[in-house]
Amino acid sequence: MHRSNRILRVVALAAGLMLTAAARADVTILASSTFDNDAEGWTTLNDARNFAWTASGGNPGGSIGAADMGTGETWYYVAPAKFLGDQSAAFGGTLSYEIRQAVTSSPFDNSDVLLVGGGLTLSYEFDTNPGTAWTPYAVDLVPSAGWRVGSRTGPEAEAADFQTVLADLDALYIRGEYRNGASNDNSRLDNVFLAAAPVPEPETIALLAAGLGLVGLRLRRRA
């Protein structure tokens, strides 16, 4: 077999071992809301009306929702205390949720997630707005994901910004309004999860070491 092909096979094997290791990492959920029994302390910010929890229609079970009052502000769902405080462990983790809206016409863009704490605001905007079916969203809590400081057009966030915000998280906002105009402009939210960075299990660390070792051995032989 040609030498370069052998190297490619070793690298592919090592990559496979490392991907397997990543899949086996243990994920800790720091806070969650599935709205199975009630609104779990969630509220709204700005011009929302008719905020309510319903026991059915979620994905599955219950969900919360509200409608736009049409006064020109963008309204947000506001997370309760269990998502706030010292959430330093969330750095490198993930925020995920599911959302749907009644109608998708006349869309507009804005910050979809806002994290406020330590005197700073971090803003994140997804590429697409939700549809009329439950639409999942997830964003990594790391600078490389595309977070901005202050607003959706602010400077790129850095690791120090995340550490400042997450060490004393005062507010977590998820956008609930996506359309211009108030006619039938409502949304529903379900399955919000704040997860810590994955922690490899002992066997996972062994797999990672094996993968890196294969690459290193091949490179040494090549040299």
pLDDT in tens, 186-200: 999 999 999 999 887
Q: Phi and psi dihedrals of 120, rounded to 5?
A: -125, 160
pLDDT value of position 219: 47
**What is the C-alpha separation between 139 and 141, in angstroms, rounded?**
6
Q: What percent of the chain has pLDDT over 70?
A: 78
Q: 102 near 68, Cβ under 8 Å?
A: no
pLDDT value of position 26: 80
- pLDDT at residue 111 is higher than 60: yes
> By C-alpha distance, which of 94, 76, 99, 88 is closest to 172?
76
Q: Span 74-80, mean pLDDT?
A: 97
- pLDDT at residue 74 is higher than 80: yes
Q: How many CB atoms lie within 10 A of CB 160?
A: 10
pLDDT value of position 223: 54
Global pTM value: 0.80
pLDDT band with cut points at 50, 70 and 90 for residue 20 = very low
Residue range 127-169, pLDDT digits in tens: 999 999 999 999 999 999 999 999 999 999 999 999 999 999 9
